[in-house]
């Protein structure tokens, strides 16, 4: 059973502010979903390898050659705020 | 002037070759059709008339000779088109213009297609109804009070409404096949790794695959041939030969072994859906296909596994939307508050719900119980398919348990919405290809879809089976009244 406190904690981890009664709503909806997901507990998975991908992939390597990358001005073009060649954010260090 | 909007891609290509049809004329048809019906359908997230006309003019000027030259195609709003708005139908990507083309877009441009706008979708592809878009819901062309399916609902509705000739969607748990089924068109999810994901804004990276939505199976083969193939820019793309899928457009299923999974023909399956799928089975039997009952015993766990895996991956993928590099930024004096406020303001309710569920499933203390458990169950689901394909070549199922539901019917109960993808999710978990083709209409006149599933990389086998069915069933020629 997820309580409102847990929703607040997880929302904080996910860097999302919740508004109004969202914590209550999410707690109730997530409890429904988790109750449904509970059925997985009935499944015996002892000795089963976890699957993180649908195809078997080993590390993919490419030749260590320098290629063109996105020009700075284009990388910065969508920035909400920028200064010279940098993304600008609110002050971090006091 | 001919109404080119009603053509399939192949028919339009033939007309272009025979009568030297100009891209400018095709663009005019498109604009006229859009003016006539898109207020009702709302299929586009972004549409730029000036850009469409410029592109058409350029195609005419360059005497473009590509295999799909001048064919108008809509691109789902989560696929990057250089210098065009690409916003995942989310407020958090407001104003974002992609700095590069997705690989599928590069290939479509090389093939000479006329790119015709960005199609509406559930926000970040989170949804089965196209209702979570920040641009408002797309409506089903067969019944405007109903959803078109999702998340590629805009793509499917635009094709069904003859607003474009074909469209590109993405399929994480059924997002190409389910809306195609509900809008009476064809939707194809290729094998994981068959089509490059470079430039597709990630939702569930181990599940996402780009696929075509078309008016018939022939067009599907034509488009797949263009977009499939290895791409060094996507490290999960597979370096294997791409056959010419058009050579699989053959009417022959004699001796084809088709499995019917008993777990898919269950209580809760709509009566009309069952009847139409049964009729499809009879038709294929009459054409010489050999049917057998098979079992996919872990089917009942698929939705649970999917929502854990997909939401976990989504919560990680969507961490990048923080107001720093692109999109929306809320004004706050501290960095942390800026992140939190930007994400509160920018994400819709379903996006928040999934990010929170995914963050929870991955958080310390819960990881083993949810994420790891789901990954193990995923292995069992994949093994079900491996086992089934020992006794059959193709698996046949309904694409969805019901025809299109009403707008607003499931928005208050996310779990009910999630269960509408019950038949499409397993193919994503297993990474195998699937296609949905129209197989008739409900008593209320709503389209019903038939899903064919095949072994990894057997897209050619799927096209052959689906084409044979389609050509004998004839539903692909029916269009909605708008």
Segments making up each domain of chain A, as ranges: 4-42
ipTM score over 0.85, yes or no: yes
Annotated catalytic residue B420 = no
**Which residues in chain B have Cβ-Cβ distances shorter than 8 Å to A12?**
340
Annotated catalytic residue B64 = no
What are phi and psi for residue A44, nearest 5 degrees?
-80, 115
Spatial separation of the C-alpha atoms in residues B40 and B470, rounded to whole Å: 29
Spatial separation of the C-alpha atoms in residues B188 and B199, rounded to whole Å: 19
Spatial separation of the C-alpha atoms in residues B323 and B334, rounded to whole Å: 12
**Which residues in chain A have Cβ-Cβ distances shorter than 8 Å to B426?**
none
The residue from B129, B151, B196, B420 that is catalytic is: B151
- What pLDDT, on the 0 to 100 scale, is given for residue B278? 98
Contact between B153 and B91 (Cβ < 8 Å) = no
Contact between B467 and B461 (Cβ < 8 Å) = no
Measured between CB atoms, does A57 come within 8 Å of chain B?
A: yes
Residue B99: closest CA among chain A residues belongs to which residue? A74
**Which residues in chain B have Cβ-Cβ distances shorter than 8 Å to A45?**
373, 376-377, 380
Can you say whether the dihedral through the CA atoms of B381, B382, B385, B390 is positive or negative?
Answer: negative
Spatial separation of the C-alpha atoms in residues B315 and B360, rounded to whole Å: 9
CB contact under 8 A, A17 and B97: no
Q: How many CB atoms lie within 10 A of CB B17?
A: 10
Question: What residues are paired with B189 via a beta bridge?
Answer: B434
Selected for mutation to probe chain B from A54, A68, A77, A85 (highest B CB count within 10 Å) is A54
- What pLDDT, on the 0 to 100 scale, is given for residue B266? 84
Spatial separation of the C-alpha atoms in residues B168 and B200, rounded to whole Å: 11
Pick from B311, B310, B305: nearest CA to B359: B311
- What pLDDT, on the 0 to 100 scale, is given for residue B425? 98
Measured between CB atoms, does B343 come within 8 Å of chain A?
A: yes
pLDDT tens across B220-267, in order?
999 999 999 999 999 999 999 999 999 999 999 999 999 999 999 988
**In the structure, how many helices (H) and strands (E) does chain B have?**
15, 11
pLDDT band at B477 (very low <50, low <70, confident <90, very high): confident
Strand pairing report for B290-294 and B257-261: parallel
Instruction: Report the percent of chain B where pLDDT is more than 90.
Output: 94
The residue from B76, B215, B276, B410 that is catalytic is: B76
Measured between CB atoms, does A20 come within 8 Å of chain B?
A: no
pLDDT tens across B122-168, in order?
999 999 999 999 999 999 999 999 999 999 999 999 999 999 999 99
Show the CA angle centred on residue B175, arms to residues B464 and B480, nearest 5°: 75
- What pLDDT, on the 0 to 100 scale, is given for residue B64? 75
- The arithmetic mean of pLDDT across residues B40-61, rounded, is 97
Size of interface A-B (CB pairs under 8 A): 166
Mean of per-residue pLDDT scores for chain B: 96
CB contact under 8 A, B99 and A77: yes
- The arithmetic mean of pLDDT across residues B28-38, rounded, is 97
Q: From the CA of A86, how many Å to the nearest CA of chain B?
A: 10
**Which residues in chain B have Cβ-Cβ distances shorter than 8 Å to A40?**
301, 304-305, 308, 373-374, 377
Spatial separation of the C-alpha atoms in residues B133 and B126, rounded to whole Å: 9
CB contact under 8 A, A90 and B335: yes
Tokens of B13: 């290509």
pLDDT band at B1 (very low <50, low <70, confident <90, very high): low
pLDDT tens across B74-110, in order?
999 999 999 999 999 999 999 999 999 999 999 999 9
Ranges under pLDDT 50 in chain A? none
Token pair 């998340």 in the structure block, residue: B151
Token pair 């949804």 in the structure block, residue: B127
Is it the case that residue B2 has pLDDT exceeding 80?
no
- What pLDDT, on the 0 to 100 scale, is given for residue A92? 86
Pick from A90, A65, A31: nearest CA to B333: A90
Spatial separation of the C-alpha atoms in residues B290 and B276, rounded to whole Å: 18
Q: Where are the domains of chain B?
A: 4-256+392-477, 300-375
pLDDT band at B328 (very low <50, low <70, confident <90, very high): very high
Phi-psi region of B405 (alpha: psi -120 to 50; beta: other; left: phi over 0): beta
Q: Does domain B4-256+392-477 match CATH 3.90.1300.10?
A: yes
- What pLDDT, on the 0 to 100 scale, is given for residue B267? 80
Peptide linkage before B151 cis (omega within 30 of 0): yes
Spatial separation of the C-alpha atoms in residues B472 and B475, rounded to whole Å: 9
pLDDT tens across B337-352, in order?
999 999 999 999 999 9
């Amino acid at each position: 059973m997820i309580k409102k406190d847990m929703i607040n904690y997880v929302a904080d981890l996910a860097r999302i502010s919740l508004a109004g009664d969202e914590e209550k709503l999410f707690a109730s909806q997530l409890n429904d979903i988790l109750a449904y997901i509970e059925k997985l507990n009935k499944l015996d998975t002892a000795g089963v390898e976890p699957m993180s991908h649908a195809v078997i992939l080993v590390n993919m390597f490419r030749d260590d050659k320098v290629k063109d990358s996105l020009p700075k001005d284009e990388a910065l073009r969508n920035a909400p705020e920028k200064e010279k060649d940098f993304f600008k954010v609110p002050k971090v260090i006091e | 002037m001919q109404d080119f909007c009603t053509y399939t891609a192949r028919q339009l290509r033939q007309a272009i070759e025979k009568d030297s049809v100009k891209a400018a004329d095709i663009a005019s048809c498109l604009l006229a059709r859009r003016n006539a019906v898109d207020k009702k359908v709302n299929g586009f997230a972004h549409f730029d008339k000036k850009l469409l006309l410029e592109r058409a003019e350029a195609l005419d000027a360059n005497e473009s000779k590509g295999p799909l030259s001048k064919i108008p195609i809509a691109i789902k709003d989560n696929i990057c088109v250089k210098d065009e708005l690409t916003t995942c139908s989310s407020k958090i990507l407001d104003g974002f213009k992609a700095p590069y083309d997705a690989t599928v877009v590069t290939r479509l441009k090389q093939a000479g297609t006329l790119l015709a706008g960005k199609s509406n979708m559930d926000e970040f592809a989170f949804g089965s109804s196209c209702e979570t878009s920040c641009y408002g819901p797309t409506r089903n062309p067969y019944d405007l009070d109903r959803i078109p399916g999702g998340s590629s609902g805009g793509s499917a509705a635009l094709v069904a409404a003859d607003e474009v000739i074909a469209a590109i969607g993405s399929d994480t748990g059924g997002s190409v096949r389910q809306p195609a089924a509900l809008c009476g068109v064809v939707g194809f999810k290729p094998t994981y790794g068959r089509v490059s994901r470079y430039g597709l804004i990630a939702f569930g990276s181990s599940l996402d695959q780009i696929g075509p939505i078309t008016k018939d199976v022939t067009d599907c083969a034509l488009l797949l041939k263009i977009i499939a193939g290895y791409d060094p820019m996507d490290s999960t793309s597979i370096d294997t030969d791409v056959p010419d899928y058009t050579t699989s457009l053959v009417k022959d299923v004699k001796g084809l072994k088709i499995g019917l999974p008993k777990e898919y023909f269950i209580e809760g399956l709509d009566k009309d859906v069952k009847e139409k799928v049964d009729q499809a089975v009879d038709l294929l039997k009459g054409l010489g296909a050999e049917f057998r009952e098979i079992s996919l015993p872990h089917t009942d766990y698929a939705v649970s596994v999917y929502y854990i895996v997909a939401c976990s991956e989504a919560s990680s993928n969507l961490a990048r939307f923080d107001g720093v590099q692109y999109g929306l930024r809320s004004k706050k004096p501290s960095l942390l508050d800026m992140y939190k406020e930007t994400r509160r303001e920018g994400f819709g309710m379903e996006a928040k719900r999934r990010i929170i569920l995914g963050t929870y499933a991955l958080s310390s203390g819960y990881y083993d119980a949810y994420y790891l458990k789901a990954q193990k169950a995923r292995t069992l689901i994949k093994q079900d398919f491996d086992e089934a394909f020992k006794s059959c070549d193709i698996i046949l199922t309904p694409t969805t348990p019901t025809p299109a539901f009403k707008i607003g019917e499931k928005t208050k109960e996310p779990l009910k919405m999630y269960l509408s993808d019950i038949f499409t999710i397993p193919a994503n978990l297993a990474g195998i290809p699937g296609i949905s083709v129209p197989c008739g209409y409900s008593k209320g006149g709503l389209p019903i879809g038939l899903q064919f599933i095949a072994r990894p990389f057997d897209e050619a086998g799927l096209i052959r089976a689906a084409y044979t069915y389609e050509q004998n069933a004839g539903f692909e020629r029916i269009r909605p009244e708008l």
